[in-house]
Structures are given as C-alpha cells and as structure tokens.
Amino acid sequence: MIWHIFKKDWKLLWWQAGAVVALATGSVLADAQRGYFGSTDPPRTETALIILAFLAGLFLITELVQQDPIPGGAQDWLVRPVKRADLLLAKLLFVLLALEAPILIVAVMTDFARGFPLGTTLSGVTVEMLAMTLSLGLPALAFASLFRGITETIAAAFAVVLALMAGGFLIMGRANFPLVGPTNQTGVHWVADVAENSVYFLGAAAVLAMQYYRRQTVRARWVAAAFFALARLTPMMPWQSAFALQQGLAPSPGSASSVVLAFDSSPNRTRLAFCIPVTVSGLPADSWVNVDRVSVSLTDAAGGVVWKNPIQLPWIDSAKPFSSIRGHDGCEPFSMDSDEINRLSKMSALHARLDYSLTLFGLDKSYAIPVGSSSDGDQVLPDVGRCGTRTGYWVTLRCITQKAPTCAMAFLSNKTTGLRTPPAYSCNPDYEPFGGETSTTWGSGLSIPSRNLPDPVITNWQFVLRTYKPLDHFTRQLTTPAIDLRDWVSGL
C-alpha cells in the first residue's frame, strides 16, 4: 500500500518535484562554476535559485500532505483499507525519493567531478541531507498536516511569521528573526543549532503521531505551538551550558593546563575606554589562545558588585595576526558610558574580575607549495582540499574544500635564503564536530604581495600554508588587585 500511495502522489505532483530538483540543481551548478578564484560570496543567481528551491520545496510538501488531508471529515483514506502508518510512510518516502535523492545525487556527482573521493563525498552529503530531513522536511510535513488546503496553510504560516516578529520585539526589543543568543557568531554556535533542530524534530514527530494515528488536530496544534516556541528560544540557551558541552568534546583536554592569564600592572592610557592590561604565559609551542567569550565585573572593597559589563562577544578581524590572544593587543577594553565613568572614578580600591571562556589552538599541518610566474594549476592538499595558486602582483591561494580549516596562516619563503614575507591570516573559529559537507570555496585573505620581492619572477620562492586546529576549551578567571579607575581610563 505504501508504494501504491507513492505512485498516486507521483502522478499528481511529478512536475512540481521536477521543478524543485531543477532549481536546486541550478544552484549547485552555479556554485561549481565559480572555481578557485571566483567571489567567495555566492552570486545573485545562485542565491535566488536557493531561495526559490526552498520555497518551492515547502509548497510541494504542503501539496503532498493535502492530497490526503488529516483535518475535517471528507477524507477518502478513512474509508479505504489504508493503514495510517502506511499513509505517513508513503509521504516520507516521497520526500526522500522524489526530492532529496535527486539533489543528493547532483551534489555527489559535482563534488566527485571536483576531485573529491566518492566515499567521503557520499557520506558527507548523506549526513547533510539526513539532517535537512529531520530538521526541515519532517517539521514541514507536520505543519502542513494541521490545516485544510493550501490557503489555510499559507495563512497559518503568515501568522507564524508575525508571531516571530512580535516575539523578537518582546524579548530583545527588535524584530530579530531569528533571536540572537550568547552563542551567536562564536565557535560554539553549533550547540544551539543542534538543540533547535532537535526540538523541531521531536515536535514534528509528536504532531505527526497525533495526526496520523489519533487525528487530534486541535491538541496537535497546541503541541506544535509549544514546541515551536521552545525551538525559537533555544538560541538563548545559557553560555555556560553550551561551553561545558564543548569542553567535554575537546580533542586534547588538559593541553591548556599550563596557560596562565595575569594582570599587567603597567597603566595604559592609550584608549578612551576602560582597559585592563592582560598578559598570557605558559603557551605550548606553535599555539595561541582565542577568546570565545569574556565578561567583566567591578567590585568595591566590601566585595559588592558596583558595575557589570554585558557579555562581550568580540568581533575579531580574521586578518589580525595570531598573537598570544588573537585580536587583542595586550589589553582588554570594555565599553563604559560617561556617567558610569564619572561615578566609578570617585571610588577607590575597586577590583576588576574577568571571566574568560577560551580555546587553545595549535599547529595542525604545514604545506609548501611551489610558486611560478603564472598560474600553478591544481594541487591536492590533504585535509584542506583541491587548491590552486595564481601569481602576479600578488600570490593568491584558493581552495575548493569540503571542510575548511578553522584558522590558517600563509607566507612566502625563499628556498635559498630562508627570507620570509609578512604573513597573511584567515580565521573563523568554528568547533562543530560534524565533518563533511558539500564543497565550497575557501582561502579568501590568504594573498601575499609579491611585487617588491628581490626576484621579479619569484621562482626561488614557495608559498607556505600553515593550518591550526582547536586543541582544548577552558575557562580562566582573573581578578586584579585594588585599582583606581583613573589609572585605566585615559582622559580622566
């Protein structure tokens, strides 16, 4: 019976399924046309195709469910000898075979044509498609099962969007869509993402079971609303919980045990901001520390908190060098308005407490790539991808990769004299443990100027690429001795 229902749906919806697959295939091929040295930002055509494929896919899933609607009393499947489990499984089979399988095949063949091994490509794309089914396909099926017809479903979706905007105003004072939580734009963002997708999956499973096995539409709608609200709030999950999970997954736990943060007693009056000088010691060789999160509190002589800075999520320019603490120049600045500065500057014996969440990065791989006077063609760099270099006034490296290195440094080195050029950097900390995805362009920013090198054709030079990986996630708390705020804020 499952196959019979599938064939019935296919005869009615094959052209819509074909349109969705065509749009998705077009976006994949548009991405593949960029090559090594195309823009790292997707072109407008690719973006438009992705949006259209997404909307068309949602519309198709709604049409698929409405072929045998659950609410109401006019359902043909209720009087036919159709098992309710068969009906649900037939809908799931349609989504897998008619929608996701063709898109998976196109993605696999595209990456295989780019030179990636078929096994890793197939496994990575399969995991990605499975995650999409659990976090998007099933919820879309569940949502469509709650309503009668396309019109009612679209009206409900519009109401959900309005509810999201209203929730953003109530919680954060603006129509954030989605909500922005403590893990946003940090390496541990994946924890909140997985939690949100898990809630969507559990809610969809509950709604589908209630609809297809019990036909409890009113109750299912309340359950769906509860799970949806919970899912939308998961990005607001506490930082401590997310980072504690990340600590448990550290590749080399304890490797940062020797790292020490200390207060630098030398006053710093170079900034019009509250600035606490910090030093770092005990770092292993070829390593550095990334600040994932830091907050500060000021306490008086009695230990009471007189000022607490909102949580800082530092936006670090990826082009900044890897110093002991990436993106910091030996000083931890915090914003403070003039009223607070005037009030606190009258107090003496203040103590500053810094609460850090940190990640230790260490050298992973090093590659030496020959450099010629023109394009140097394709080169396969293990654990990076298929790369190409281009030589002119700049020596540029770009790679097609399935899992880009988290952070990297590059420079030119003379094979005869050992002379090195100033390095270039690329860093976007992301600690997601899941490997493998569809290929993408990587390497923006890893370009070295070569016009002023002693050898005009730079035939004696090589392009050196060093990649870094996270080793350990850890926390540190730093409390300063008694300070006078006037010593740490310039202009007072």
**DSSP-assigned letters across all residues of 291-307:** EEEEEEEEE-TTS-EEE
Q: Which of 224, 228, 88, 59 is nearest to 151 (CA)?
A: 59
- Cβ atoms within 10 Å of 149's Cβ, excluding its own: 13
Question: What distance, in Å, lies between the first and last C-alpha atoms of the chain?
Answer: 81
Give the DSSP H/E element, type plus range, for residue 456.
Answer: none
pLDDT value of residue 341: 74
Cα(98)–Cα(60) distance, rounded to whole angstroms? 11
Give the DSSP H/E element, type plus range, for residue 315.
Answer: none
Cβ neighbors of 473 (< 8 A, separation 6 or more) are 243, 246, 247, 250, 292, 357, 358, 359, 360, 431
pLDDT value of residue 272: 46
Query: What number of H helices and E strands is found in the chain?
Result: 11, 14
Cβ neighbors of 256 (< 8 A, separation 6 or more) are 289, 358, 360, 471, 472, 474
The pTM (predicted TM-score) of the whole model is 0.85
Domains and CATH numbers, the chain: 2-176 (no CATH), 260-361+474-487 (2.60.40), 363-469 (2.60.40)
Cα(183)–Cα(158) distance, rounded to whole angstroms? 28
**Which of the residues in the chain have pLDDT under 70?**
34-43, 71-81, 172-178, 266-275, 310-323, 326-334, 372-377, 435-439, 454-458, 486-492
Tokens of 231: 């899912």
